[in-house]
């Protein structure tokens, strides 16, 4: 029993880290551009579908296909920021948030429709060469350990990037006080594009990590968007560290709920928990204002 | 009473609308498919009316239109299937249940001062809870495949062909709602209150409008309408399954209808749903590609035609005649 609890915990942590990767991008984009990007999960699918198509039917080596997947996601993110969302940056306040929500929803329907009809069978699964490793009498799946470690490294990287580098500081200053940042000479337009690209890379990596532990289907974009959105809301919509914490909490809670009550009811319980949190702690579990 | 130069035109438009919609299915009495499309269009106009009142007039972004209609449908369906209640009691109970749910959501979001987007996420969570519950509770709801209800009598309407019954019952609901809304908005103080809330909630509060009461009452009535029409829609479609009430099947078309027709307008949902019905039918040959096209159309509409057709006509066409 104890052994399986450790394994479930690991399961939950890895799932939580993937959710954190998705949600970190959402949080960054919302903080800087004021857009709650409902096409975020579709970006993940863009990565996995491109990689699956290139490595599968075209026979490209896998690392190259994965890089191409990330590149395709980057391109879509640039189009999203520069073309699709360009009309909303003229608006302000709640109008902008609402229109952003709607336009990204429309963009995700568009992407979803395109992907589903063109590549309905582009499933991505990455298999590790050695399936299991033995440690302390327990048998861990190699894929899970690799997935957990790599997403933790990426998250640590993005945390250090935001805290230590000049660019990261510029992004944080824009999030906290746009006018102030403008006054000291930081270009919103430039950093907005950068944040969209960072978000795209993060969500693409999340897709790749996810495909290590499970199969990513071409129609699962909406599911990832919603999970990312819930994590973002629970973590406090402007706080990247809150998002990372919330991802872990939700991942672990969800995994244990699935074990105890089954898939559907676990999801329902998770949603109700999130609704309660939304009403009682609208600033997120770490309590940062948004 | 709102007295502007459009008073007469508005009344003429309302009368013309009623006449056109009553006569609409008569030429197609021998082609049930067309009547089916018309009935479906009318149901979606009702859904869009509810959403328009919630979001257009009082800025409450409810992304759970499909879930609310679905709760109505499942309550009615289960009661009828298990023989617990007759059709009238079942539909009445659905109306009450959904009204209470919508009212509670509105109270919570108003009390907690959730901004539109948070209300949106909250209600999106409700949509997901609904779809997972009805898919998960297989014993009660039939899971993914749902269940059938057949042969529900609609009293004196039973003499009409099947789809026409539902067309007229939906139309009666819709027209009653339209006339009441028309009266409230143009002939009582409520219309002014709505317009103040649309423009600026804070100022509305400052001039003494009880915004909280208007919001919660509006959502009580709009949800009751959703419960009622959702229950009827389930009798109309005869099959009750999660996919009929999913976000993509109801909420999405409703959003497009309201944006296309015009937010906070009484005529908007009629125009929007008529256009969507025609477009939908003429694009049917595209099959699954329609979704891609829907996304594209929605994006273009939002970018260039945000205020809808009614607003466009008011601004660009109406000045020619006055």
Q: What is the pTM of this model?
A: 0.89
Q: Which of B64, B121, B131, B137 would you mutate first to test chain A, the one with the most A CBs within 10 A? A: B121
B124: chain A residues, CB-CB within 8 Å? 226, 229
Residue B284 domain-assigned? no
Among B289, B299, B304, beta carbon nearest to A84: B299
Residue A209 domain-assigned? yes
For residue B188, the SS3 value is: coil
The complex scores an ipTM of 0.83
B125: chain A residues, CB-CB within 8 Å? 230, 271, 274-275, 278
Angle among Cα B83, B89, B90 to the nearest 5 degrees reads 60
The answer, for A83 touching chain B at a CB cutoff of 8 Å, is no
User: Quick one: closest CA in A to B129, which residue?
Assistant: A268
User: How many residues does this entry show for chain B?
Assistant: 322
Angle among Cα A139, A142, A143 to the nearest 5 degrees reads 130
Q: What is the per-residue burial (b if ≥16 Cβ within 10 Å, else e) of B260-284?
A: bbbbbbbbbbbbbbbbbbebbeeee
Residue A222 domain-assigned? yes
Among A36, A98, A268, beta carbon nearest to B133: A268
- Contact across the interface for A106 and B295, Cβ inside 8 Å: yes
Residue A135 domain-assigned? no
A84: chain B residues, CB-CB within 8 Å? 299
Residue A287 domain-assigned? no
User: Quick one: closest CA in A to B248, which residue?
Assistant: A109
A144 and A213 Cβ atoms separated by less than 8 Å: yes
Among A97, A102, A229, beta carbon nearest to B302: A102
- Contact across the interface for A109 and B298, Cβ inside 8 Å: yes
B259: chain A residues, CB-CB within 8 Å? 102
Residue B36 domain-assigned? yes
| CA–CA separation, B17 and B165 (whole Å) | 19
- Contact across the interface for A106 and B118, Cβ inside 8 Å: no
Q: How far apart are the first and last CA of chain A?
A: 42
Residue A58 domain-assigned? yes
- Contact across the interface for B291 and A113, Cβ inside 8 Å: yes
Considering its fold, how many domains does chain B have in total? 1
Residue B204, exposed/middle/buried by CB under 10 A (0-12, 13-18, 19+)?
A: buried
User: Quick one: closest CA in B to A116, which residue?
Assistant: B288
CATH number of the domain at A73, please: 1.10.3470
- Alpha carbon of residue A277 to chain centroid: 20
User: Quick one: closest CA in A to B130, which residue?
Assistant: A268
Range of the domain at A204: 7-126+143-280
Among A99, A116, A278, beta carbon nearest to B121: A278
| CA–CA separation, A108 and B255 (whole Å) | 15
For residue B116, the SS3 value is: helix
Residue B272 domain-assigned? no
For residue B200, the SS3 value is: coil
Residues of chain A with pLDDT under 70: 1-2, 128-131, 136-138, 282-290
Question: Tokens 């861990």, residue?
Answer: A140
Q: CB under 8 Å to B92, separation ≥6 — which residues?
A: none
Q: CB under 8 Å to B154, separation ≥6 — which residues?
A: B87, B165, B166, B169, B235
For residue B239, the SS3 value is: strand
For residue B183, the SS3 value is: helix
Question: Tokens 């914490």, residue?
Answer: A245
pLDDT by residue for chain B (322 residues), tens digit each?
A: 666 777 888 888 889 989 998 888 888 888 888 999 999 999 999 999 999 999 988 888 899 999 999 999 999 999 998 888 888 899 999 999 999 999 999 999 888 877 788 888 889 889 999 998 998 888 888 888 888 887 777 777 777 788 888 899 999 999 999 999 999 888 888 888 888 888 888 888 888 888 889 999 999 999 999 999 999 999 898 889 998 998 888 988 898 899 888 888 888 899 999 998 888 888 878 777 878 888 888 888 888 888 888 888 888 887 787 6
- Contact across the interface for A106 and B135, Cβ inside 8 Å: no
B128: chain A residues, CB-CB within 8 Å? 226, 267, 271
A36: chain B residues, CB-CB within 8 Å? 117
Residue B112 domain-assigned? yes
Residue A98 domain-assigned? yes
CA distance A205 to chain B (A): 25
Per-residue model confidence (pLDDT) at position B67: 95
Per-residue model confidence (pLDDT) at position A137: 66
Looking at B24-62, list the stretches that DSSP marks H as alpha helix, in order from N- to C-terminal side. 32-51
The answer, for A264 touching chain B at a CB cutoff of 8 Å, is yes
Question: Tokens 């026979």, residue?
Answer: A59
Of A53, A70, A210, A67, the closest CA to residue A118 belongs to: A53
- Residue B60 main-chain phi, psi, to 5 deg: -105, 105
Among A113, A272, A282, beta carbon nearest to B118: A282
Residue B124 domain-assigned? yes
Q: CB under 8 Å to A131, separation ≥6 — which residues?
A: A141, A142, A143
| CA–CA separation, A248 and A235 (whole Å) | 10
Output the six-digit token pair for A63: 């690392």
Of A95, A89, A83, A79, the closest CA to residue A33 belongs to: A89
Among A101, A110, A117, beta carbon nearest to B120: A101
Residue B303 domain-assigned? no
| CA–CA separation, A67 and A50 (whole Å) | 10
- Interface residues of B toward A, Cβ cutoff 8 Å, are 61, 108, 112, 114-118, 120-122, 124-126, 128-129, 132-133, 135-137, 252, 255, 259, 288-296, 298-299, 302-304, 306
Residue A263 domain-assigned? yes
Q: Which of B60, B128, B201 would you mutate first to test chain A, the one with the most A CBs within 10 A? A: B128
Range of the domain at B146: 7-246
| HEC letters along chain A | CHHHHHHHHHHHHHHHHHHHHHHHHHHHHHHHHCCCCCCHHHHHHHHHHHHHHHHHCCCCCHHHHHHHHHHHHHHHHHHHHHHHCHHHHHCCHHHHHHHHHHHHHHHHHHHHHHHHHHCCCCCECCCCCCCEEEECCEEEEHHHHHHHHHHHHHHHHHHHHHHHCHHHHHHHHHHHCHHHHHHCCCCHHHHHHHHHHHHHHHHHHHHHHHHHHCCECCCCHHHHHHHHHHHHHHHCCCCHHHHHHHHHHHHHHHHHHHHHHCHHHHHHHHHHHHHHHHHHCCCCCCCCCC
Residue A28 domain-assigned? yes
Question: How many Cβ atoms sit within 10 Å of the Cβ of residue B54?
Answer: 29
Q: Strands A138-141 and B147-148: what pairing? A: unpaired
A274: chain B residues, CB-CB within 8 Å? 125
Q: How far apart are the first and last CA of chain B?
A: 21
Considering its fold, how many domains does chain A have in total? 1
Per-residue model confidence (pLDDT) at position A288: 47
Residue B315 domain-assigned? no
Per-residue model confidence (pLDDT) at position A290: 40
B304: chain A residues, CB-CB within 8 Å? 87
Q: CB under 8 Å to A99, separation ≥6 — which residues?
A: A87, A88, A91, B302, B306
């Amino acid at each position: 029993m104890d052994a399986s609890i450790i394994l479930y915990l690991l399961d939950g942590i890895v799932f939580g880290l993937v959710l954190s990767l998705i949600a970190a991008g959402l949080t960054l984009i919302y903080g800087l551009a004021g857009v709650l990007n409902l096409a975020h999960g579709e970006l993940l699918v863009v990565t996995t579908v491109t990689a699956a198509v290139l490595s599968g039917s075209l026979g490209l080596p896998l690392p190259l296909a994965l890089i191409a997947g990330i590149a395709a996601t980057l391109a879509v993110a640039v189009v999203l920021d520069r073309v699709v969302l360009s009309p909303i940056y003229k608006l302000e306040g709640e109008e902008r948030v609402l229109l952003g929500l709607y336009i990204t929803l429309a963009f995700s329907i568009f992407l979803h429709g395109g992907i589903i009809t063109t590549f309905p069978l582009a499933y991505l699964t990455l298999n590790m060469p050695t399936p299991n490793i033995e440690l302390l009498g327990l048998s861990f799946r190699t894929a899970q350990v690799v997935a957990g470690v790599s997403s933790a490294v990426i998250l640590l990287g993005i945390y250090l990037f935001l805290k230590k580098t000049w660019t990261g500081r510029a992004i944080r200053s824009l999030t906290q006080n746009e006018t102030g940042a403008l006054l000291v000479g930081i270009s919103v337009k430039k950093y907005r594009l950068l944040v969209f690209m960072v978000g795209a890379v993060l969500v693409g990596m999340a897709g790749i990590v996810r495909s290590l532990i499970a199969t990513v289907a071409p129609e699962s974009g909406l599911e990832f968007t919603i999970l990312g959105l819930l994590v973002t809301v629970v973590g406090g919509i402007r706080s990247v560290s809150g998002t990372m914490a919330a991802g872990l909490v939700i991942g672990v809670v969800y995994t244990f709920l699935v074990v105890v009550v089954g898939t559907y009811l676990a999801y329902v319980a998770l949603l109700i928990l999130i609704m309660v949190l939304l009403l009682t702690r609208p600033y997120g579990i770490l309590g940062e204002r948004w | 009473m709102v007295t502007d130069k459009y008073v007469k035109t508005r009344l003429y438009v309302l009368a013309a609308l009623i006449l056109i919609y009553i006569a609409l299915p008569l030429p197609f009495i021998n082609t049930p498919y067309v009547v089916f499309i018309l009935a479906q269009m009318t149901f979606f106009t009702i859904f869009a009316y509810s959403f328009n009142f919630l979001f257009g007039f009082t800025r409450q972004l409810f992304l759970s239109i499909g879930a609310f209609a679905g709760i109505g449908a499942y309550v009615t369906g289960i009661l009828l299937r298990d023989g617990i209640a007759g059709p009238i009691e079942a539909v009445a109970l659905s109306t009450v249940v959904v009204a209470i749910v919508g009212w509670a959501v509105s109270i919570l979001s108003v009390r907690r001062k959730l901004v539109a987007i948070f209300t949106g996420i909250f209600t999106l969570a409700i949509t997901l809870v609904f779809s997972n519950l009805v898919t998960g509770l297989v014993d009660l709801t039939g899971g993914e495949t749902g269940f059938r209800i057949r042969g529900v009598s609609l009293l004196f309407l039973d003499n009409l062909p099947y789809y026409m019954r539902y067309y007229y019952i939906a139309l009666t609901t819709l027209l009653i709602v339209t006339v009441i809304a028309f009266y409230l908005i143009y002939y009582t103080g409520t219309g002014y209150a709505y317009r103040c809330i649309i423009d600026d909630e804070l100022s509305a509060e400052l001039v003494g409008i009880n915004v909280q009461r208007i919001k919660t009452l509006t959502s009580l009535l709009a949800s009751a309408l959703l419960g009622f029409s959702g229950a009827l829609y389930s009798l109309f479609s005869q099959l009750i399954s999660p996919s009929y009430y999913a976000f993509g099947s109801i909420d999405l078309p409703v959003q497009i209808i309201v944006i296309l027709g015009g937010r906070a307008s009484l005529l908007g949902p009629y125009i929007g749903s008529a256009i969507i019905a025609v477009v939908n039918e003429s694009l049917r040959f595209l099959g699954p590609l329609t979704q891609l096209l829907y996304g594209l159309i929605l994006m273009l509409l939002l970018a260039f035609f945000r205020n809808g057709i009614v607003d466009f006509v008011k601004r660009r066409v109406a000045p020619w005649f006055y």
